[in-house]
Amino acid sequence: MPPARMTSLEMLERLVGFDTESHKSNLPLIDFAESWLAGHGVRTIRLPNAAGDKAALVAQIGPDVEGGVVLSGHTDVVPVAGQAWSSDPYRLRVENGRAYGRGATDMKGFDALVLALVPDFLAADLKRPITIVLSYDEETTCLGVVDAIAALGRDVPRPAAIIVGEPTGLEVADSHKGVAMCETRVTGTEAHSSRITDGASAVMGAGSFVDRLNRLGDRLIADGDATGRFDPPFSTVHVATIAGGSARNILARECLIGWEIRYIPGVDIGALQAQVEEIAREVTAERLTRYGPFGTIENVWSVDVPGLAPDEGSEAERLALRLAKRNRPMTVAYGSEAGRFQAVGLPTVLCGPGDIARAHKADEYITLDELAAGEAFLRRLADELSR
């Protein structure tokens, strides 16, 4: 059993010690969090994925009434493979006012603060509840929070505000772009390159497809950003990987393209996806079936993370600005789970300790001062909900 109390730093040490890279199970961490909460008499709801190797956790502290606040954090982290760490990334190292470890900033620092303060939340005279949500797969699909969102208003009272503790330096972020990721599989028919009418080159088809994606990206740039909030001030199309072909004198049988659209909230991503399907049909006709039924193009949309749209004056924004002692919200460049909460009508902002610029790289760290500031933020929340 965990001890009755742990400092935020001690809690962070425990959480960093769990290797929860997104392709691995997070169950040991969830087991620990569940045990910690149960040890304080807090009821938890475990929400496993279909495979049973990962789970989200929901826990309510305070009265069984609506109008509380959700503190949401993901438990998964990005891989460390190929990164030059100065020490074991899964063993917290504290040095010169910094705590180093994978996930220290993104975002086990916030998770550690929330769990470490459970005894204090319980001791407060909460008039509205604090609900803790720990999710999985944020770094890959942002789907690991979906079942937890469904539990809000069903298994626990519906909250008035959601605070997602992504590292914002305790600034309040009320907007970010959405992300739609796709793998396009271009299939051709092999033939000798001197006999191009006997088949179709998947690589040549892929080249035409990427050219059309560039044109789509140019149109999005021209459309711009009506909100004036985003940098860059437009939606973007980015092709990241292309792989295909076997030899210079063989028409390629297959080519894979990995790419994404990052879109401003309010952009109709369904309409963009429909345009991509039309591009695939046009390229198939022009390049892959010119001389016969020699090829196809298939788009597989693996990730679609909704953006977070500015919601000026929402309960979440007003509350977080008060607690963080800030005058106005900001916009962040990265995606998060926040848009999924907002999509079901829950006012949501990002606000957490640490700097996203340190995330996803070797020697990721959070400062002890940032942890202290985050703890003060959460104590102010408990005070607010006790009035």
Among the listed residues 313, 44, 330, the one whose alpha carbon sits nearest the alpha carbon of residue 168: 330
Structure tokens at 244: 């295909």
Of these residues, 13, 138, 337, 370, which one is catalytic? 138
Contacts 24+ apart (CB under 8 A), 359-362: 359/78, 359/105, 359/106, 359/167, 360/78, 360/106, 361/83, 362/80, 362/83, 362/84, 362/85, 362/86, 362/89
Of these residues, 13, 34, 76, 139, which one is catalytic? 76
Dihedral angle at the C-alpha atoms of 364, 369, 373, 376, nearest 10 degrees? 120
* Rounded Cα gap, residues 267 and 308, in angstroms: 12
Can you give the length of the chain in residues? 387
Answer for the pair 275, 193: CB distance below 8 angstroms, yes or no: no
* Rounded Cα gap, residues 99 and 108, in angstroms: 11
Concerning whether 76 is annotated as a catalytic residue, the answer is: yes
Structure tokens at 9: 């730093």
Could you give phi then psi for residue 35, rounded to 5 degrees?
-65, -40
Structure tokens at 231: 């940098």
**C-alpha count within 13 angstroms, C-beta hemisphere, residue 143:** 11
Answer for the pair 257, 239: CB distance below 8 angstroms, yes or no: yes
| Whole-Å CA distances, 329 to 78, 317, 322, 326, 348 | 27, 8, 11, 8, 12
**Helices 8-16 and 368-385: crossing angle, nearest 10°?**
110
Residues marked as catalytic: 76, 138
